Amino acid sequence: MKLAEVESQMQKAVEATQRAFNTIRTGRANSAILDRVMVDYYGTQTPLKSLANVNTPDASTITIQPYDPSSVSAIEKAISLSDVGLTPSNDGSVVRLNIPPLTSDRRKELVKVASKFAEEGKVAIRNIRRDAIDSVRKEEKNSDISEDESRDLQDEVQKLTDKYVEKIDVVLGEKEVDITTV
């Protein structure tokens, strides 16, 4: 069991949580909110990013320029059915999403979604901790390391866990401020 490996896995959990936060809209146009949108393209679920060029020409608009003009209606349908909460409009070749200002109720709802993503990240970190501590205990049981070394390693794993849970809390706090700022 290597502490560097455990730390690397925990860092990846924080980064995954950060990516999940990026999919939450904050009142400003951000193409990352479309990262989870999957389009039924000739019978295959395909990420929107693979089918179109997504731009933010201004703070309240997202434009989606499909590489294949025949996929405009499929893209429009996928966005309508997704949890993005925006209504697409198209002019035949480009799909536009207008980002309305968020209501206070919607902001509260988005803070809850962000909290849920943060909790999922914390659970992932705790699972990494559990696996690492199980590995240390197994090494101790096999007499590969002493009881003191085992206790020290378990303490180090717990310190790493606390550090990365704190990082998720910091990122969540920043996202909450971002969501609630009008």
Global pTM value: 0.71
Looking at the fold, whether 90 and 135 belong to one and the same domain comes out as no
Closest CA to 14 of 156, 175, 133: 175
Phi-psi region of 25 (alpha: psi -120 to 50; beta: other; left: phi over 0): beta
Looking at the fold, whether 171 and 117 belong to one and the same domain comes out as yes
Looking at the fold, whether 157 and 90 belong to one and the same domain comes out as no
| Residue-range definition of the domain harbouring residue 75 | 28-98
pLDDT in tens, the chain (182 residues): 688 899 999 999 999 999 888 878 676 777 888 888 898 888 889 998 888 998 888 878 889 999 988 888 888 888 888 877 778 888 888 889 888 777 888 888 889 989 999 999 999 999 999 999 999 999 888 888 888 998 999 999 999 999 999 999 999 999 998 888 86
From 77, 98, 119, the end of a domain falls on 98
Enclosing H/E stretch for 95: strand 95-98
